[in-house]
Amino acid sequence: MIVANSLTKRYPGGFEALSGVSFQIGAGEMVLITGHSGAGKTTLVKLIASIERPTSGSLVVNGQNLSALRRSAIPYVRRHFGMIFQDQKLLFDRSALDNVMLPLQIVGLPHREAVRRAQAALDKVGLLAREKANPIALSGGEQQRLAIARAVVNRPTVLLADEPTANLDSASAQDIRTLFADFHRVGVTIVVATHDQSWIQHCQGNALRLDHGRVV
Amino acid sequence: MRRWLSQHRAALALSVRRLLAAPFNTLLSLLAIGIALTLPAFGYVVLDNLRELGRSASGVQEISVFMEVGAARKDIAEIESRLQTLSGIRFTFVPRDEALKRLQKSEEMAEIVASLPRNPLPDAFIVEPADASPEALDVLRQELASWPKVAHAQLDSAWVKRFDAFLRLGKLTVLMLAGLFGAGLVAVTFNTIRLQVLAQAAEIEVARMIGATDSFIRRPFHYFGALQGVLGGLVASGLVFAALHLLAGPVGELAALYGGSFVLHAPGVREIAALCAAGGILGWLGAQLSVSLSLRRFD
């Protein structure tokens, strides 16, 4: 499903965030990308999500070589991923429901169908009762759950998350971990960049540890 | 197709919401666009009225065909039958005796006419062509002058040419004004959309990350620009109507002083639709330029 071969990312100025990284993630697997700050976790997630492009090497997702993608094809590739960011990237000028509906509007789902699916996603993360609330009125944990609802509403094949439990209290972090486990159980491929120790200990067999841009 | 329509409907609804979200800003933008469109639109209406005035002015389109003094009745019949074969003209025959009578009625000429030993005037035809362009009139005049027993075909072409040149100059001025103020409209839309892109930066960034295409992001801005242009066109139409309403009285009085009557013609539905369409197209263009430049910062 996700195959990286000698993946290197060098930023302008010469800083090499990833150096010759190779790995393979099978369909339905849940993999944690771990490592200290600056190890290259976020860069790797961004490369998989096509937010950034590798300097060299190849990255194949669902049989598609992302390194060779035309610019115009990138949005369509991104639609296969559910993205969860550390800072959630929620829109505070609209309701929770409208935030979750955004990916469905992008693919042009009719309004009524989009509302139905967005409400189902909110229900899944336990926020249906807050559908009309502005995200600013939600707690940190609720905001992260809202971001997860937005990420899964389009039924992605891969769920990508960058530090989804950072800045959350232990109870909220546990809620998030449980949600990821639920999605994993139904066959969604999950890639999470995290330094959440309790999560890492729980998923020891499926961790990809990075150190200074290399797999260790 | 259903998805495509759904996306366009959503983009249109979003652009309407953005217009309504800041009513004061919207009003100011519409006024700026409306005024920019009013000047060329008003110029066009004035020219149209002048063209109409030129058409209705007596004598402007007439060609006088004077027969030779010795022309016989059959020569006159021959010219009459030739004129009947021409399409797009009307003509009247003025016999030389009637022409003399008309001259005698003139106070200044009566004494001179009375002193003449015989009628020096020729028989004549007054030809009124439907095509009043100077070129067409000149071609027709030359043709009529070449017919047998025709002594002279006279056209007050200098007046027609001067008037036509004036209209052409006016048309050019209106076109230049339209270009200038059209560029102004594009600039106003460009700036409005640039500010909107800045205000929507978070949404654009998130939408791109979760799979929005460039056209999805651009679409609401395009609709916004076009909608603003169309509404600006309606404002301009309103201003033109108001100006014509204010001018109608003085123009009528002026025409009455010259012994005539003249009513200013207001633009019709087609002209208003064309003005709104022009506003819409220019607004879309401004949005396209702005959004293309502004979105580069998100790459």
The CATH number given to whatever domain includes residue A73 is 3.40.50.300
- In CATH terms, the fold of domain B63-155 is Alpha-Beta Plaits (3.30.70)
DSSP string for residues in A176-190: HHHHHHHHHHTT-EE
Range of the structural domain that residue A5 is part of: 1-80+156-216
Q: Is the pTM of this model over 0.80?
A: no
- Here the tokens at position B13 are 């609804």
Q: Does A78 touch chain B (CB under 8 A)?
A: yes
Predicted pLDDT at A62: 86
What whole-number distance in Å separates Cα of residue A22 and Cα of residue A214? Answer: 9
In angstroms, the CA B140 to CA B131 distance is 10
One domain for residues A31 and A76: yes
Over 80: is that where the pLDDT of B199 sits?
Answer: yes
Q: Does a structural domain hold residue A129? A: yes
Check whether residue A106 and residue A208 sit in a common domain. Answer: no
B63-67 and A56-61 beta bridge pairing: unpaired
Task: Find the mean pLDDT for residues B136-152.
Answer: 89
Does any CB of chain A come closer than 8 Å to the CB of residue B207?
A: yes
Q: Where are the domains of chain B?
A: 2-56+162-298, 63-155
Examine the fold and report which residue of A103, A138, A155 is the final residue of a domain before the chain moves on: A155
Residues A187 and A143 both lie in one domain:
no
pLDDT of res. B132: 73
Q: Decide if B201 touches A, using CB distance below 8 A.
A: no
Tokens standing for B5?
Answer: 């329509």
pLDDT for the residue B2: 75
Instruction: Provide the CB-side half-sphere exposure for B199 (13 A, CA).
Output: 11
User: What string of H, E and C letters represents the secondary structure of B190-237?
Assistant: HHHHHHHHHHCHHHHHHHHHCCCCHHHHHHHHHHHHHHHHHHHHHHHH
Residue A30, number of CB atoms within 10 A of its CB: 19
Total domains in the fold of chain A: 2
Shared domain for A70 and A44, answered yes or no, is yes
Q: Looking at the structure, tell me whether residues A120 and A162 fall in a common domain.
A: no
Helix (H) or strand (E) holding B295: helix B269-295
| Domain shared by A102 and A208, yes or no | no
Q: In this predicted structure, what is the pLDDT of residue B99?
A: 85
Provide the 3-class DSSP secondary structure of residue A66: helix
- Of A91, A110, A150, nearest to B6 by CB-CB distance is A110
Question: Is A85 a domain residue?
Answer: no
pLDDT-derived band of residue B279, with 50, 70 and 90 as boundaries? very high
pLDDT tens, per residue, chain A with 216 residues? 899 999 999 999 889 999 999 999 999 999 999 999 889 999 999 999 998 999 999 999 988 898 888 888 999 999 989 999 888 899 998 999 999 999 999 998 888 999 999 999 999 999 999 999 999 999 999 999 999 999 999 999 999 999 999 888 889 899 899 999 999 999 999 999 998 888 888 775 588 999 999 998
- Asked if A132 and A164 sit in the same domain, the reply is no
Assess whether A151 and A163 both reside in one domain: no
Calculate the average pLDDT of chain B.
87
Q: Are residues A59 and A166 in the same domain?
A: yes
Please name the residues in contact with B16: beta carbons below 8 A apart, sequence gap of 6 or more.
Answer: B227
* Rounded distance between C-alpha atoms, residue A153 and residue B133, angstroms: 68
Kindly state whether residue A86 falls inside one of the protein's structural domains: no
Asked if residue A132 and residue A181 are part of one domain, the reply reads no
Chain B contact for A150 (CB, 8 A cutoff): yes
Distance, CA of B292 to CA of B66 (rounded, Å): 68
Same domain for A16 and A110, yes or no, is: no
CB distance A80 to A160 below 8 Å = no
Query: A79 near B208, Cβ under 8 Å?
Result: no
Q: Which of A83, A92, A105 sits opposite B209 (nearest CB)?
A: A83
Of A75, A89, A111, the CB nearest to B6: A111
At B87 the pLDDT is 85
Residue of A nearest to B204 (CA): A91
- Kindly state whether residues A7 and A68 are assigned to the same domain: yes
